[in-house]
Structure 1
Amino acid sequence: MHAEAFCPGHITGLFYIPQQKENIQEKGSLGAGLSIDRGVTTCCSIEKGSGFEVYINDKEEESPTLSLDALMLFAREAGGLPDGKLVIRHTTELPIGCGLGTSGAAAISLLIALNRLAGSPLEELKLYQLAHKAEILAGTGLGTVLGQYTGGCKISIKPGAPGIGEALSIETTDISIIAAIYAPMLTSQALASEEVKKSINSAGKTLHRELVNNPTLENFIRTSTQFSEKANLFTDMLKPLHSDLAKNNIPHSMLMFGQGIYSICPEDETADLVKFYKVHCPEERLYIFKITEERGKLL
């Protein structure tokens, strides 16, 4: 027995962390982001034996904290797991730990596939709420799952899991996202100092308010560009591309959190922008995405 599901990744443009509630389902960040058309596919299968195994891109994961948290939450909500050994295989089209929402996509696709294996006892909204909770418990995200549930380009206006948190949608048409992705960056590393966290919250809160007051795609990339500047997280690896983009007045933002930079452009301008990015970024590190309205789905 097996079931397979896919969930799109997600890019965060800007965010801040408001005062957190006690209820984990009400915890979360406020910000804005984009769901992208590439993501994580998870296959769940039941084999002879007991226990579980977790693989990421065919390599067994020794400490699969997020997957285990998702399993624990599902078992508690659904009254248990299917009998037998549960084998979970995550396959990602995206680099891990680079600010592309792979952890949220992994948790969502895992829960959707597992739910089918268990006879579909839980509704879609509940699965997303469990994914949100699993991300917070594992320390891998605070607002990504709400964005992946909403789809497209969104601004969160109330923190929390889907069904509790709220988001505004921004209309988009024929848009490409070009991203230069050099290396992972741990969120804990990015938020290592209180000074950095303070500057992120200060910039994020102000720019989030500006975007809510004028929710357009143009304002999204403008406020995201300003957020990256004010948060001052550009590393030495990113500075040459960042500087060149800025000199040429090309709006861009840093991936939250990863050693990467992205820009948004009309579809018919994609080739020119890719050519510009290639000056600083090897082709194998360059990605082109579309914005997607899709949520996670069974395959």
Structure 2
Amino acid sequence: MQCGSCKDKFTARAFAPAHITGFFQIHDHKEPMKKGSTGCGVVLDRGVHTTVTIGDDIESTDIYLNGEKVAGDTSRAVVSSMTEIPVTVESTSEIPIGCGFGASGAGALGTAYALDHALSLGHTASQLNDIAHVAEVSNGSGLGDVTGQAHGGILIRKTPGAPSVASVDQIPSKENDVYCVVLGELSTSSVLSDQEMVNDINNAGKEAMKKLMQKPSVENFMHCSRDFTIQSMLASEKVMDAIEAADTIGVTASQAMLGNAVFSMPSQKDSNELENIFSEFGTVLRFKVRTGTIRIN
């Protein structure tokens, strides 16, 4: 799309949704296309809007997030893998950053789709999804979010790897409400680099997947995620307090992986009471399950 203020500039815009992982198992591999995670997560109706601008006066690739210039290593890796032309990437996030909502994956996907459109590169959706995945796992900013975001809904990642490689399935779902409360940030890379944590995660993730596949329902997904939170020992004291507070009204809540946040998908009759309970811990964010995926605006 031509920029209205400058005839020698062109912009393209794309949106990619947030993704919350309920439980997961880490699968390392020397090939980024085969590296990733198995597990289950939910795609949300809000996410990251990304604008890519190309023009003769752009001399270097710069990445902006919510109006501030950032290193943007994952999005920058997307750009460098697709073109040598310098571009400006501007992402605006509707979701918390560094809190388990898959913001880096959403930014990478938005960058890939917008850049492909801006330069008429002719990639397929599958190719763009894989580019975003490789950029994310190579930079240690995530493992399975891109695969979830590329499919939408409540996605079961049965085998690891990029979206075109991974074997996936879905839990049939309406566009259920998802309630979240953010308690702080948690570095994905710091957890993934701790081998003892990785062992605990993988043991808990294997057990959670086994239980989910015995009864692949929304309710069981939440129960498996809660059990994973406890068994993986990733939760902070505040996260456990919020989960236990939800227990008092019979609602299952869990940690958003990997982030210092709590989420739940309550029934309609429990939603107001859960919102009141979560509000004691912070600002309550309300989303819906997004059954669609990435779009070019």
| TM-score normalised to structure 2 length | 0.92
Higher mean displacement: 3-12 or 246-255: 246-255
Q: SS of the counterpart of 2:96?
A: coil
Q: 1:5 aligns with which of 6, 10, 14?
A: 14
- Residue 27 of structure 1 aligns with an amino acid whose one-letter code is K
Aligned residue number for residue 28 of structure 1: 36
In structure 1, stretches of 5+ residues that fail to align are none
CA distance in 1: counterparts of 2:89 and 2:189, whole angstroms: 26
1:289 and 2:287 equivalent?
Answer: yes
CA contact (8 A) 2:58 2:88 kept: no
Are the structure 2 counterparts of residues 90 and 39 from structure 1 closer, same or farther at C-alpha, using a change threshold of 3 Å? same
Aligned residue number for residue 4 of structure 2: none
Q: SS of the counterpart of 1:218?
A: helix
Q: SS of the counterpart of 2:293?
A: coil
CA contact (8 A) 1:54 1:87 kept: yes
1:74 and 2:82 equivalent?
Answer: yes
Higher mean displacement: 262-271 or 100-109: 262-271
Aligned residue number for residue 179 of structure 2: 178
CA distance in 2: counterparts of 1:42 and 1:267, whole angstroms: 33
CA contact (8 A) 1:27 1:159 kept: yes
CA contact (8 A) 2:246 2:274 kept: no
Q: SS of the counterpart of 1:180?
A: strand
| Matching of residues 101-250 of structure 1 within 5 Å | 101-191=102-192, 193-250=194-251
Detail structure 1 runs of 4+ shifted over 4 Å in the superposition: none
Cα RMSD (Å) of the superposition? Answer: 1.6
- Residue 285 of structure 2 aligns with an amino acid whose one-letter code is Y
1:39 and 2:47 equivalent?
Answer: yes
Equivalent pairs counted in the alignment come to: 287
CA contact (8 A) 2:108 2:132 kept: yes
- Give, in angstroms, the shift of residue 174 of structure 1: 4.5
Kindly, what percent of the aligned residue pairs are identical?
A: 29
- Give, in angstroms, the shift of residue 110 of structure 1: 0.6
- Residue 295 of structure 1 aligns with an amino acid whose one-letter code is T
Q: SS of the counterpart of 1:197?
A: helix
- Give, in angstroms, the shift of residue 129 of structure 1: 0.4
- Give, in angstroms, the shift of residue 298 of structure 1: 0.6
